[in-house]
Structure 1
Amino acid sequence: MLLPVVVYFVLPSDKKRIRNLIMEGREAALNKDIDGVMRHVSYNYRDRYGFSYLYLKETFRNLFKRVDAFEIEIDSLRIKVDDRKAEARFNLVVKTIKDGTEGYLMGGEGFPESVVFTLEKEKMKWQVVETYLPTREGIDF
């Protein structure tokens, strides 16, 4: 009888696991760690922009080679969990630094990019299966 109560309070909630996943991905990108970035992306990843897991990985690999450093701001994170599916919505600004010159990759000064991750639970852990960028379609949340 006591074990379920202990498990409930000791194990992190799905929302907390997803929040940690996003922050770990941010840290991996800051460190230009391709394996760390892709650790939480499903092999079944597909999005409306034509990206698959392998294409996304290659895109990050090329970006990490071209850029010296990143600044990444994640704001207004909201997570909705429904059994084995979840959605994480947040605002994102990604600034790149190359040869001392700064530029914006996503969002801009005072204009964050809206991002929606769709996640599924695979083998007892959450994985990103799709990314949607509503700001690019004129939609803001």
Structure 2
Amino acid sequence: MANHANKTTNLVPVYGIIISVIAIALSIIFYVTNYYDTLWTGFMIGAVIFIGVLLSVVNYNNNHHERTNAAAMFGMGFRTTVFSVIIISIFSIILHLIATSGTHAMPTTANNGDQVAGQGNFWIYFLGQTVFMNMTMGVLAAALGAFVFKRNQTTPSAR
């Protein structure tokens, strides 16, 4: 029985890597097509994280034959969220450094004089979109998965 528990606990990196690879692939597609700076691309990556964490929590519950508690399910989703957000954050910083390596430190401007969001405001975008929103979406998915897909929910006073 302990072997089975260790096998499912070690799936956190697997879920996190799968979610990260999908999010990174979308980021590369958005960057190549010059849509990386638009707002809806961040929502797409947030949706990938939300759905991925939700599926990981449901799969974790199924691997434990639906006998796990809500706190363990939430913990699984939270660990998956943190793992995937760390990988996506590292990739975002590397992509930013690669994209701006040939340019000078001054932010670039578009033809109409507006500042390009991907260069001058990278750290605001990084902290707001990549870290905060993705963590929020993952935590919401973990909580939703833990409390919705828990079978035979009882309150402590009903036992």
Q: Which has the higher contact order (CA 8 A, sep 6+)?
A: 2
State the TM-score, normalized to the length of structure 2: 0.28
* Structure showing the higher helix proportion among its residues: 2
Q: Give the alignment's TM-score, normalised by structure 1.
A: 0.31
User: Quick check: which has more Rg, 1 or 2?
Assistant: 2
